[in-house]
Structure 1
Amino acid sequence: MSGFVEKGIIRVHNHVGPDIWLMQIELPRIAKEAKPGQFVHVKVNDPRYILRRPISIAGTDAGRGIVEIIYRIVGKGTEAMSHLKVGDTLDCLGPLGTSFDMNRDHIVGIGGGVGIAPILFMARASREGQMTVVIGGRNKEEVFW
């Protein structure tokens, strides 16, 4: 699958850690198709930033058409994203990338900071007892999950 462009309304946009934000976007087609390990390319609503930002999908709620992402402010583009408000529209391309193989008896997911996003999605999709998760961060504020 090569993904598709979908514009969605931001439903949740919360500051969850040092320069770390969680956003839920109403993207029904992407939410229906996305699998753990995939990402979306987000277009910032500012003509100064023409390139899309690749951001891992942290989870979906296909029934509500919601895609959840977690991102860190690392440059001017993600800084501009952090100023978006609930109700704003965001242009996304996805789902993209190769998904994780969930056909295993036991999975170990290891990550830290915003690197936990695909692990969170995988943990939500796993069977009970199928996954062990180890997370870390630079400090206790980065361990927000």
Structure 2
Amino acid sequence: MNLFGFSLLSLFSLALVSSVIAQERAPHGLLYENPEAFSPSAYDFFHPNAKKPETKDPCTASKCSPMPLAAQVEAAEIHESKASTQEKGGKKLGAGGVAGIVFGVAFVVVLAMGVYHVRVTRRANISRAKANGSVQPDA
């Protein structure tokens, strides 16, 4: 069995062993999660733009400064601008993209090892042939 066949066999056996070990673990993921209800404060935290019951403006009766209202408006504008810039982002790299990168790097490494092996083998054969005298110089 040559080196390439042995490396392919060992890679296949490692993949088989890792998949068997992975099946022994407890299942995980969204499919196996139990649903839990959010508390109202948690819902408010994760949904800041949800409609809130309208309250009377306390500044109309006492003629206080509308500064807190201005701060709330400014904070809302900042929140909206951040959300709009995040939505414009590019695509995210999925599982297929990650797998493609991993297999691409592995292919390049195996190809480089093959080229190195061929070069070393040819040099060894040429030097062995020169030592034996079986190579005749060009006329």
TM over 0.5: no
Higher relative contact order (CA 8 A, sep 6+): 1
Structure whose alpha-carbon radius of gyration is higher: 2
* Higher relative strand content: 1
* Higher relative helix content: 2
